[in-house]
Amino acid sequence: MTTRSDMRNVAIVAHVDHGKTTLVDAMLWQSGAFSDRDTVEKTGERVMDSGDLEREKGITILAKNTAVKYSGPAAQALGLTEGVTINVIDTPGHADFGGEVERGLSMVDGVVLLVDASEGPLPQTRFVLRKALLANLPVVLVVNKVDRPDSRIAEVVSETQELLLALAQDLDNEGHEIDLDSILDMPVIYASAKAGKSSANMPADGGEPDDDLEPLFKTILERIPGPTYEEGAPLQAHVTNLDASPFLGRLALLRIHNGTLRKGQSVGWARHDGTTRTVRVSELLRTEGLDRMPAEEAHAGDIVAVAGIEEITIGESLVDLEDPRPLPLITVDDPAISMTIGINTSPMAGRVKGAKVTARQIKDRLDRELIGNVSLKVLPTTRPDAWEVQGRGELALAILVEQMRREGFELTVGKPQVVTKEIDGVRHEPMERITIDIPEEHMGVVTQLMAARKGRMETMSNHGTGWIRMEFVVPARGLIGFRTSFLTETRGTGIAASIAEGYEPWQGSIERRLTGSLVADRAGQATPYAMTQLQERGSFIIPAGSEVYEGQVVGENPRGEDMDVNITREKKQTNMRSATAEQFENLIPPRKLTLEESLEFAADDECVEVTPDSVRIRKVILDAQERFKVAARERRANK
């Protein structure tokens, strides 16, 4: 095997909001890829978060790659006078986008693991570390945000090392070969990504590192090996991601494992069905910073983009025509949550000019999503105008629906459900490992919340700062709608994060939403007069003046049953006062729900209407009499 010394391929992985994208930005600035840092700092935007949703939510949704050209002292010390190209994969930190992480790890030779100096390792940290160990990738630990006033650097390093050893022991028991020496010898870098500083020596808690990112670059060069390949071996290139260009069409992002790829070359395209077709590489692009530049050829270890193969998908390979050696297909964990997505069937369907409302348009859009999202599944339902979409979690599916809404689609979205499976004839359901950080005074109420959802406490620790960390294993369906109750009970101070924890036998019934819904019993316009008279019965989720229809959920009833209300009632005019006098000043402002909150709020017999300009919650059966008959039949059937 031959090793390239002029290149490193690394993935930066961490739990959500631990600073991955900020660190990649700092690496780009200090390598000279950008010169207008002040402008970007003033806007508060990260250059690697390119999508509108990523900027709005402050999280990475799609894995992205960039190339850092480093020619500092560490490169010169290794005799690399022309510098080293460091291909960096910035991966999502949220567990729902784990498929992006798995693809990213298949492209690299090492991992830079970021851990918050205060929060320490969290569920996604466990997930990415397990995947890295399975692939035998060396790990560089970066303790980020060491300048936080509540940092506890030594404890976090110790917790991460203990997690590594525990995972290595688990994998060893499962029969996997794990290199314990590399785990025990894991290098540690202390950094403040926001300040663009790092150090190989542990600073005082809350202290800022003295150096720039040179210690990090040096550690990457010394501890992460360059790409290896077989001299003279035929072409082997693995497609790990897809992109699109308005000029070139579909782009396949791939890692070349062996051989050479040239512009204009005819190669073999090894497809999912086992067949191989001859295709031509019409364009070859190499990443420099965040830009893709034309290239004539690329070699083993390079991460490049190719154009000219319109139907190529993730996991397929480009191979030599005379000696084809396809690489294994990329596999990801099974989806745990599903929801039904179909055409908008409400009385207000089709009112938005230019909206995409047909079943064919929705199915085509879902099929396009499958091309680039390996962790998603789309299955048919009994209805020809609706499909079951399965994904890793609520957030991943909500992001898909939000993207479709912004593209002009009108949809009816069902309440999220869990995806079960039969194991040895027994029904099993997906479980989640959730880590919760809360102030001490909320421990009792959070424990009650988790107990009602069949949560099983695994560990509890007190860091001595007034905060408690608890770890539960809970059915995935128990976390549907959990976030809203959790934030309410902890007054917005709690932090919760979860990761898949395999399957266990069905845990029994779980108590759903304890409150009922206020349901409009007729179509019309919600009046301030009616809402003022009804607000003692519950809280509203629509503003006054909104147009409503029969069966639309307009508010929340504190009691456990639904209540049909006339929210369109008007005050009769007299010769003494006007119909609207003194109504607005007594009306409590409504609670505005986002798309994700609407999906959590919806009861089992409700769904969410999504259009480009609004999100509404409604009953699946709009007619009140028909709902009453169905409920009566269900009660008789359950006796």
Cβ atoms 132, 159 nearer than 8 A: no
d(CA 208, CA 49): 26
Instruction: Write out the E strands in 300-425.
Output: 303-307, 317-319, 337-343, 377-380, 386-391, 411-414, 417-418, 421-423
Question: What sign does the dihedral 227-230-231-237 (CA atoms) show?
Answer: negative
22 is in an annotated binding site: yes
377 is in an annotated binding site: no
Question: What sign does the dihedral 88-327-95-223 (CA atoms) show?
Answer: negative
Please give the full DSSP string across 246-290, using - where no structure is assigned: TTTEEEEEEEEEESEEETT-EEEEE-TTS-EEEEE--EEEEEEBT
604 is in an annotated binding site: no
User: Among 137, 136, 187, which Cα is nearest to 161's?
Assistant: 187
Cβ atoms 93, 78 nearer than 8 A: no
d(CA 379, CA 368): 14
User: Among 428, 598, 410, 418, which Cα is nearest to 503's?
Assistant: 428
Strand-pair partners of 277: 269
> What's the distance, CA 451 to chain centroid?
26
Other residues' Cβ atoms within 10 Å of the Cβ of residue 13? 29
Edge-first strand listing for the sheet containing 276-280 = 276-280, 266-270, 317-319, 236-245, 249-258, 303-307, 283-288, 291-294
Cβ atoms 111, 128 nearer than 8 A: yes
Largest CA distance in the chain: 97
140 is in an annotated binding site: no
17 is in an annotated binding site: yes
* Cβ neighbours of residue 239 closer than 8 Å, sequence gap 6 or more: 252, 253, 254, 312, 313, 314, 315, 316, 317, 318
The helix (run of H) or strand (run of E) holding residue 235 is none
391 is in an annotated binding site: no
Strand-pair partners of 540: 555
145 is in an annotated binding site: yes
639 is in an annotated binding site: no
Cβ atoms 336, 418 nearer than 8 A: yes
Position 292, amino acid = R
d(CA 84, CA 346): 58
Instruction: Write out the E strands in 506-619.
Output: 516-520, 524-525, 539-540, 547-548, 552-557, 563-565, 606-611, 614-619
Phi, psi of 280, deg, nearest 5: -120, 135
**Residues in the annotated binding site for GTP:** 17-22, 144-147
**Residues in the annotated binding site:** 17-22, 144-147
